[in-house]
Structure 1
Amino acid sequence: MKWLWKSRTISPPHADGIWGRIYDGLYRQTRQYRQKQKTLNDKIRQFRDGAEALPDAALVLSNDLTIQWGNKKAQRILGIRWPGDVGQRIDNLIRFPEFAKYIEAANFDQPCHIQSPINSDIMLELRLMQYGVDQVLFLARDISKIHRLEEMRRDFVANVSHELKTPLTVVRGYVEMVQSTEHALDPYWQKVFDTMETQVSRMDRLVEQLLVLSRVEIHMDEEEKHLVDMPKLLKALIDDAQWLNQDKGHTITHEIDPTLALEGLDNELKSACSNLISNAIGYTPAGGNIHISWVKDGNKAKFSVKDDGPGIRPEHVNRLTERFFRVDKSRSRDTGGSGLGLAIVKHVLNHHHAELAINSRWGQGSEFIIYFEPKCIRSLSVA
């Protein structure tokens, strides 16, 4: 009993017979326990060393989002101390409306962006992911440099596009003035000015799309959303499409639910839908078929534009929403495409809790679908 409860040595006293075997068994179990404890301590030390080496702030949370452990970077950029803040809920220490909404939505596929709670000059990207069975891993990454570069890029594009509008308008005006005096020009110069007018118009469309892209990027949630009469908006776009379709003679059909509306920004929704319709007209060969639909699909609203054009190769589908990406650059020159249309669509959808799906088979046509979440859907009364 003295050896078990009072002695600090693990070596048992000498004994013969049954007590000797009992001492040996206890001694072996004690050594095994200490070896396991040493192995566990080594693994914990390796985990902590690895976590401290991370470039990101890392916190281990329980499933109810209480803090269990954190590295030193978490203290430097989040102000969360370990072990002082153990047991606190993470949303009690990071008190930002954006983060509260992020936690409430419980959709952690996309990151959350906030300022650092202890330094407003630091912009953070937060991610949460399941860690083991009953824990959550919280990572905070400093994206201040990327954020500043992105702001500079947006400002540059917006400013340059704005400055280009005036000289383009002047050049276009003079070209149209010369074209209007057709009897004063021989056929050669008339053709030259027609080419100039075509290229100025193309550049004007490019600048206009850059301005639209800058607007939807910069004014992300600044405008107040309101009820958008989607059936009325889409019928106007279809009328415009019929006018644009005179040269190619496509068969354009449509299916529109007259009661289905959205809460959003009408100018952005118009831009997104218009881009998908104009792409179908531009890239579908003459005499093709285009079907436009606006219907309920389960609990979501679905806008789709389907054509029987050449389709898109699988390796290009995931890159379609990149700025200036064009599958066929020579064909884009013919159609006047800039490679910005789907980039605009992507940003508009981010504002409206929507997602873009692309179904396409090479040589068999394409279907571009926008799914709007139930929270955006509204109903219209039909007289």
Structure 2
Amino acid sequence: MQRTFPWLRSIARVIIFLASCALLGFYTDQLLLTLLLGAFGLLAWHYWRLYRLNYWLWHSKKISPPGVRGIWSHIYQGIYSANVRNREKRKALGEVIRRFRQGSEALPDAAIVVDRDAEIIWCNRLARIELGLSWPEDMGQKVYERINDKQFNTFYHAKRFEQPLEVTSPINPNKVLEFRVVPYEDENLMVIIRDVTRLTQIEKMRKNFVANVSHELKTPLTVINGYLEMLPENGDMPEAMMKKAISEMRSQSVRMQSLIEELLVLSRIEASTERAFEKLVNVPQLLWQIQVEADALNREKNHKIFFDISPILYVYGIESELRSAFSNLIFNAINYTPNGGVIEVKWTLEGKQVKFSVKDNGYGIASEHIDRLTERFYRVDKARSRTTGGSGLGLSIVKHVLSHHNSLLNIQSKLGKGSTFSCRFSPEQTYIVEQPLSH
């Protein structure tokens, strides 16, 4: 509430003070000296108040003003009221900014705001994940330099933003991103980035699915049909041959069922439209569950399996997909390591990134096979794959899951020494909890 300044009262006080000095001067016959001393005292008093005001404004930690009277009380209260109003405005503005940030982080697409000089003003969390940006380190950087793609560079400088641009992700070669540039607030622009990998892969996925199924199901169907042709119509067949035929047909049918299930999992991952960076996944709990399953699978193998799981490291992702990827790597190590081997599973923080790794001391893989391991149905040793029941789809599933989570599968292996399969997750995908759940 605005207070009226007491001009008359203040002037009256000055007049009364000077009149008192004049009366004292008449009484002592030193009128001029008394008036000068009174004026000097009045000036000194005001300068002292100015010093107190300066100290309160710049050095005092107190928000409330010092207790004074007269004209200076009004000045202090005016400054204090202005500060309170400004603080309330800053609080309201901060609340608006907070809501804007929350809204921008909830956007289904990555977004970057740039000024007329193409310098980055702001970006949301999804932009930092999809494009590898850092905030606030990249503030003021040229957007085309940080994205670092020739097609986008040409597209941006051409200033023809009517049609979107599709380019390969600068940090994930398995992703296709669509860039749109729209006007935003005066001369600024907003770059909207959408992951369109699923749309571009869907037709390819359908063709590959038919081709892969027809190829991989051909062998077990041939075996089953062969045994069925051998069976006489009256069912009269030696018992030993009958047992072998039934056993082999059952084995091939289980193989076909497993193959179809993994193909469906792979197709579901490839066609998934679920956003990977919205939900927080309790990875330690997930790995402890897989550990129980791994121990059951390991009963006949008698491996020594060591789990080093940090309980405070969570990631944003899709739990079912991460479970499929991690379990595939762990179960592969169990199946493809000779009995009595050593397997180490780690979920730890290295620098600013979270790393998952599975290390074994098994047969190892020759270097010429490593680059093709994630291809569908690729097998290093087909005979060993048949023995272990491998379909050749496990690592392909892992590759697609990690690609969906902006990560890559790293494979290090030496023949006769063993192999290490690992992947990393960026700091933007990582969440460190303060009170982890106990195992």
TM range (shorter): 0.5 to 0.7
Contact 1:254–1:293 (Cα < 8 Å) also in 2: yes
Look at both structures and tell me which one has the larger radius of gyration over its CA atoms.
2
> Which residue in 2 is equivalent to 1:366?
419
> Which residue in 1 is equivalent to 2:367?
314
Q: 1:206 aligns with which of 237, 259, 266?
A: 259
CA distance in 1 between partners of 2:209 and 2:430 (Å): 33
**What letter is aligned with 1:359?**
Q
Q: 1:73-130: per-residue Cα shift (whole Å, max 9, x none)?
A: x9xxx9x9xxxx996446x44457x87x96xxx658667454999xxxxxxxxxxxxx
Q: 2:386 aligns with which of 321, 333, 341?
A: 333
> Which residue in 2 is equivalent to 1:153?
207
Q: How does 1:13-162 map to 2 (within 5 A)?
A: 88-89=158-159, 92-95=161-164, 107=171, 112-114=176-178, 149-153=203-207, 156=210
Deviation, structure 1 residue 373: 1.4
Q: Secondary structure at the residue paired with 2:345?
A: strand
Deviation, structure 1 residue 190: 4.3
What root-mean-square deviation, in Å, do the aligned CA atoms of Structure 1 and Structure 2 show? 3.8
Q: 1:110-155: per-residue Cα shift (whole Å, max 9, x none)?
A: 67454999xxxxxxxxxxxxxxxxxxxxxxxxx9xx8675043266
**What letter is aligned with 1:305?**
V
> Which residue in 2 is equivalent to 1:215?
268
Deviation, structure 1 residue 318: 0.6
CA distance in 1 between partners of 2:400 and 2:202 (Å): 19
Deviation, structure 1 residue 219: 1.1
- Percentage of matched positions with identical amino acids: 40
Contact 2:284–2:314 (Cα < 8 Å) also in 1: yes
TM-score using structure 2 length: 0.50
CA distance in 1 between partners of 2:431 and 2:380 (Å): 36
Where structure 1 has 5 or more consecutive residues not aligned to the other structure, the ranges are 1-62, 67-73, 118-142, 172-184
Q: Secondary structure at the residue paired with 2:258?
A: helix
The answer to whether 1:282 aligns with 2:335 is yes
The answer to whether 1:239 aligns with 2:292 is yes
Q: Secondary structure at the residue paired with 1:355?
A: coil
**What letter is aligned with 2:336?**
Y
Deviation, structure 1 residue 356: 1.0
Q: 1:293-324: per-residue Cα shift (whole Å, max 9, x none)?
A: 11011111111110000100011111101111
Contact 1:65–1:89 (Cα < 8 Å) also in 2: no
> Which residue in 2 is equivalent to 1:353?
406
CA distance in 2 between partners of 1:320 and 1:155 (Å): 18
Q: Secondary structure at the residue paired with 1:354?
A: coil
Q: 1:31-50: per-residue Cα shift (whole Å, max 9, x none)?
A: xxxxxxxxxxxxxxxxxxxx
**What letter is aligned with 1:345?**
V
CA distance in 2 between partners of 1:259 and 1:147 (Å): 36
CA distance in 1 between partners of 2:143 and 2:317 (Å): 33
Q: 2:303 aligns with which of 247, 250, 257?
A: 250
Q: Secondary structure at the residue paired with 2:408?
A: strand
> Which residue in 1 is equivalent to 2:26?
none
The answer to whether 1:377 aligns with 2:422 is no
TM-score using structure 1 length: 0.57
Deviation, structure 1 residue 189: 3.9
CA distance in 1 between partners of 2:242 and 2:277 (Å): 51
